[in-house]
Amino acid sequence: MTGLLSGWIKAVCGAAVVCAAAMALCPEGKVRRVLKLVCGAVMAAALLSPVVELDFDAYSEALARYGEEARRTAEGAREEARELNRAVIETECAAYILDKAEALGLGQCEASVRAEWSAEGFWVPRECTISRAGGFDRALSAAVEADLGIPAECQNWEAEG
């Protein structure tokens, strides 16, 4: 009886530790809600294991699969967040160019920016395309280089209409 109780306590504690580790690694959002559900099922199974005579080999295998799936999902969420950050930075930099063109009185413009991942671990604007009726503008080009760090040779200018 003592061996059975000891095994049961170890199973419950082990499940709690694994669930806590998985929750700590998981980002907020839908993935975390699903993981909470899975962890609840795992804890229920651990608590009821003496009654149901759970096959611990299958349980360990399933727990390992769930843990691996949680790690893959968390990694996917990190990559998705990284790409979303890229889109935000590109959009904000393009908006800056348009605001600067307006402030310089250059009229209607269009701008797009391409960002790259830096060695330091963040997105950096590297290249831009600017379309305006008059084509190249020295003042706007200098502002883009000074404020966004995009050198003149990485600025593509197009003359509209």
Most confidently modeled range among 1-15, 34-48, 109-123: 109-123
Domain residues of the chain, as ranges? 2-81, 84-159
pTM listed for this prediction: 0.56
Domain 84-159 architecture: 2-Layer Sandwich (3.30)
pLDDT tens string 133-158: 888 889 999 999 999 999 999 999 99
Residue 87: predicted pLDDT: 93
pLDDT tens string 54-89: 567 777 888 888 889 988 988 888 888 888 999 999
More confident residue, 104 or 54: 104
Residue 2 pLDDT grade (very low, low, confident, very high; cuts 50, 70, 90): low
Closest CA to 132 of 92, 91, 100: 100
Q: Which long-range contacts (CB under 8 A, 24 or more apart) does 108-115 make?
A: 108/132, 108/133, 108/160, 110/160, 113/89, 113/148, 113/150, 114/90, 115/86, 115/89, 115/90
